[in-house]
């Protein structure tokens, strides 16, 4: 068995004995495992720890924590000695259904999330739902938002519609049926499988995999503009709401999807200029236009669609004002 170094989030310290069930034991290294840890500084600390412990290419790196930790450890694994084996043990719902599937990893720079990263798949992922028992509710809800996103994307990925084509509500009335909260092990595995199907079809994100960014263009910009004081799931939920409006989803479809979204918070009051500057840096953008996942109308396999920056900001400011007025009026 290869020698193992385990990078874990301090919040899961009490759960570490469970790793013995899976043959995971070795040298431990604790970090906070939060979004702020996705930095050059923490990356180099881990690399230096590996060097100090004489970590070889034949050894095994293990990441135990939520999505942010897995992103970081995956990036370390993909770059240390040009790539070493890594095992993921996601301990949050978000990590189980999203971050541990697809091979994306990376670190952040000021005002741009995941600005540096690679695509690198773990050797193995261990799903143990016992880790979910002590999670705060907002963390479970964050993962649930990603499950909703995956379900929506998968339901429409084979729709052959042009923009303006009629979307029959009778045809799609059951596309979210079966979603449950809290999620069972079966539902978690189903969400992972639905995402894997898309990733397997387009592992390098050249086409249909762009659809998995639904809600994330707005969501990532919102996270960064708020210095990551908002959870990823809540940010993506706001992103889904706004992107449905920008993409021109029919009202019935917007309302149906929104009825499943769990957070009840209004769109945050943000600095529009700061948000806009971050939004313009999105790697998918083209010239001055902002890129969005073209979830429904991709008959010509145009999985990205572009809108003028001014149009996007106008909708963001309108939704922010409407939500603030609504929340103020109770």
pLDDT at 207: 96
Select from 75, 106, 131 the last residue of a domain: 131
Is residue 21 domain-shared with residue 167, that is, in the same domain? no
Average pLDDT over residues 170-195: 89
Average pLDDT over residues 265-293: 95
**Pair of tokens at residue 173:** 């009335």
**Pair of tokens at residue 176:** 């979210």
Is residue 22 domain-shared with residue 146, that is, in the same domain? no
Which residues are catalytically annotated? 82, 104, 146, 195, 205, 209, 213, 216, 220, 232
**Number of helices (H), then strands (E), in the chain:** 10, 9
Residue 172: CB atoms within 10 Å = 16
CA–CA gap between residue 176 and residue 178 (Å, rounded): 6
Is residue 93 domain-shared with residue 149, that is, in the same domain? no
Q: Which residues have a Cβ under 8 Å from the Cβ of 174 and sit 6 or more positions away?
A: none
pLDDT at 249: 94
Note down the domain range covering 107. Answer: 4-131
Query: What CATH number does residue 279 fall under?
Result: 1.20.1090.10
User: pLDDT (tens digit, 9 = 90+) per residue, 73-99?
Assistant: 999 999 999 999 999 999 999 999 999
Is residue 120 domain-shared with residue 21, that is, in the same domain? yes
Is residue 52 domain-shared with residue 147, that is, in the same domain? no
Q: What's the Cα-to-Cα distance from 121 to each of 50, 131, 200, rounded to whole Å?
A: 20, 22, 12
DSSP assigned state of 59 = S
pLDDT at 291: 98
Is residue 105 domain-shared with residue 140, that is, in the same domain? no
pLDDT class for 327, splitting at 50, 70, 90? low
| Residue 124 predicted with pLDDT over 90 | yes
pLDDT at 143: 97
Select from 107, 131, 155 the last residue of a domain: 131
Is residue 103 domain-shared with residue 164, that is, in the same domain? no
| Residue 169 predicted with pLDDT over 80 | yes
Backbone angles phi, psi at 269, to 5 degrees: -75, 115
Is residue 184 domain-shared with residue 117, that is, in the same domain? no
Is residue 80 domain-shared with residue 184, that is, in the same domain? no
Is residue 111 domain-shared with residue 176, that is, in the same domain? no
Is residue 40 domain-shared with residue 113, that is, in the same domain? yes
How many domains would you assign to the chain?
Answer: 2
CA–CA gap between residue 3 and residue 26 (Å, rounded): 7
DSSP assigned state of 17 = G
H or E segment at 88? strand 85-90
| Residue 328 predicted with pLDDT over 70 | no
**Pair of tokens at residue 9:** 């989030």
Select from 131, 159, 185 the last residue of a domain: 131
Query: What CATH number does residue 98 fall under?
Result: 3.40.50.1970
pLDDT at 281: 94
pLDDT at 323: 86
| Residue 72 predicted with pLDDT over 80 | yes
Is residue 258 domain-shared with residue 124, that is, in the same domain? no
């Amino acid at each position: 068995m290869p020698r193992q170094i385990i990078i874990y989030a301090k919040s899961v310290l009490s759960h570490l004995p469970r790793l013995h069930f899976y043959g995971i034991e070795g040298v431990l290294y604790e970090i906070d495992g939060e979004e702020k840890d996705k930095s050059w500084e923490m990356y180099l600390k881990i690399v230096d720890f590996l060097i100090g412990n004489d970590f070889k290419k034949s050894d095994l790196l293990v990441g135990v924590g939520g999505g942010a930790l897995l992103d970081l450890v995956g990036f370390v694994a993909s770059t240390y000695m040009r790539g070493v084996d890594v095992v993921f043990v996601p301990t949050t719902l978000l990590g189980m259904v999203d971050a541990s599937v697809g091979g994306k990893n990376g670190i952040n720079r000021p005002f741009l999330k995941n600005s540096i990263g690679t695509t690198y798949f773990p050797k193995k992922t261990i799903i143990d739902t016992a880790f979910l028992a002590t999670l705060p509710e907002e963390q479970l809800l964050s993962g649930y938002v990603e499950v909703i996103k995956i379900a929506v994307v998968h339901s429409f990925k084979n729709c052959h519609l042009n923009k303006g084509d009629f979307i029959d509500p009778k045809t799609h009335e059951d596309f979210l049926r079966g979603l449950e909260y809290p999620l069972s092990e079966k539902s978690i595995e189903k969400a992972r499988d639905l995402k894997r199907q898309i990733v397997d079809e387009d592992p390098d994100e050249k086409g249909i995999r762009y659809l998995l960014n639904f809600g994330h263009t707005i969501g990532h910009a919102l996270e960064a503009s708020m210095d990551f004081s908002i959870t990823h799931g809540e940010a993506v939920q706001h992103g889904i709401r706004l992107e449905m409006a920008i993409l021109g989803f029919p009202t019935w479809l917007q309302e149906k999807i929104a009825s499943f979204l769990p957070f009840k918070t209004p769109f945050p009051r943000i600095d529009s200029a700061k948000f806009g500057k971050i939004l313009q840096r999105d790697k998918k953008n083209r010239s001055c236009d902002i890129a969005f996942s073209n979830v429904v109308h991709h008959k010509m396999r145009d999985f990205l669609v572009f809108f003028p920056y001014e149009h996007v900001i106008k909708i963001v400011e309108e939704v922010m004002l409407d939500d603030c007025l609504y929340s103020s009026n109770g």
